[in-house]
Amino acid sequence: MKQLPLQSPSYAYAERGFREWLDILGYAPTTIYNLPNAVRELFHWMEGKGWTQLHQITSINITDYYDHLRERENITRGGGLSNAYLNKHRQAINLFANYLRQSGKLALPIMEWENEGTIREQIDVLTIEEVKLLYQSADHFPEQQKHQKGREFYEALQYRDKAMLSVYYSCGLRRNEGVMLDTGDINFDRGLLHVRKGKNYKERFVPITKQSLQHLQTYLYDARPLLLKAARSHALFISAKAQRINGQTMLVRLKYLIGLTDNARLQQKQVGLHTLRHSIATHLLAKGMELERIKDFLGHTSLESTQIYTHLKEE
C-alpha cells in the first residue's frame, strides 16, 4: 500500500494523530503502519474532489469513496480489488472515525457495513481489584513442579512476576521500555526509574511507589542472581536461560498469572502488557491527577494522545 502525496495540512496532521493513537492502543507495528496509509487514500480521493478540510469528511463522502474502491480495477492482476483489501480499508475508516470522535475533532456517525472484518474498538482496562488479583496470583507456587527445578527457582519467577507488574502497571512503561531496562536504571534512593530507551529515543524519569520499590529490590537482590547463575548481564529482567527476557515471554507470564486468578471476568478481557499501562493511566485520572502530569508520566509527546484516557475513565 503506497503512500500518496497530500496537500492538506489538516489531513497530514490527522494522519499523524491517528497513527499515534493506534500506537497508544497497543496495535501491532504492521497495523500502525498500514491503517493510516489506507486513510491517506481516502484523503487523497477527497483532495481530488476539492475537499481539503477535515470537517468536509462526511458519512456520505465516505460511502461514495468506498463505492469508488469497489468499482476500481486492480491494475496488477486485473478485476476488482480483493475482499481483504476492501476489508482493510473499512477497518481503517471505522477506527479513524472512532479516533476523530474520541479526540473531539469530528463527530462522524458509526458506519454500518455488512460483512465487516473484526474491528477492535474496545480497550480493556483492569480494575484496581483485578490488578491486586494479579499480584496475589504471583504468590502461587506450583507444587506439582517443585521437584523439577527446585523451589528457589519458582520463587525467583514469582519475584520476577511482581517486579514485572510493578514496572508495567505502577510505572506505566511501554512493552519495549520494560524489556530494555538495565539494573542501573533503578534509583532506590530517589525512588525513580530511568527510562533510557523510550519511544523516539526520548528519556524520562518515572516515580516508583514504595511497594513497587520493595518488589524490585527483592527481585534484584534475591531472585535475579538465581536466574543469572554464573552469567553476566546488565539487563534487569532475566529469562530462565540467563538472557535478557523478551516481551513475548513476559506476556506469557502475564497470561499465566491471569489464569491463576480463577476470575472469569478478568480471563475474558483482552489483556496485554499495554493493558497494564492503560490501567494505571485510567486509575490515576480517576483519582484526580491532572492530564498534563499523566502525559509526562507516560512519556507522550502531546496532550492529545493522553486524552484517550478521559474516555476510558468515563466508560
How many residues are recorded in the chain?
A: 315
CB 59 within 8 A of CB 109: yes
Pick the catalytic residue from 27, 99, 169, 309. Answer: 309
Pick the catalytic residue from 19, 90, 224, 300. Answer: 300
Query: For this structure, is 174 an active site residue?
Result: yes
Pick the catalytic residue from 215, 224, 277, 278. Answer: 277
CB 84 within 8 A of CB 118: no
Pick the catalytic residue from 196, 197, 199, 313. Answer: 199
Pick the catalytic residue from 174, 175, 215, 283. Answer: 174
Query: For this structure, is 44 an active site residue?
Result: no
**Identity at 59, one-letter amino acid code:** S
Q: Cα separation of 113 and 173, whole Å?
A: 37
Buried b (16+ CB within 10 A) or exposed e, 3-34: eeebebebbeebbebbbbbbbbbbbeeebbeb
Burial of 39 (0-12, 13-18, 19+ CB in 10 A): buried
Buried b (16+ CB within 10 A) or exposed e, 242-277: bebbebebbeebbeebbebbebeebeeeebbbbbbb
Pick the catalytic residue from 105, 215, 253, 274. Answer: 274
Query: For this structure, is 190 an active site residue?
Result: no
Report phi then psi at 75, rounded to 5: -70, -15
Paired strand residues for 187: 192
Give the sign of the dihedral formed by CA 78, CA 81, CA 82, CA 88.
Answer: positive
Query: For this structure, is 199 an active site residue?
Result: yes
Query: For this structure, is 309 an active site residue?
Result: yes
H or E element, residue 204? strand 204-207
Query: For this structure, is 215 an active site residue?
Result: no
Residue 280 C-beta-side C-alpha neighbours within 13 Å: 23
Which among 16, 22, 7, 12 has a CA at the least distance from the CA of 308?
22
Catalytically active residues, by annotation = 174, 199, 274, 277, 300, 309
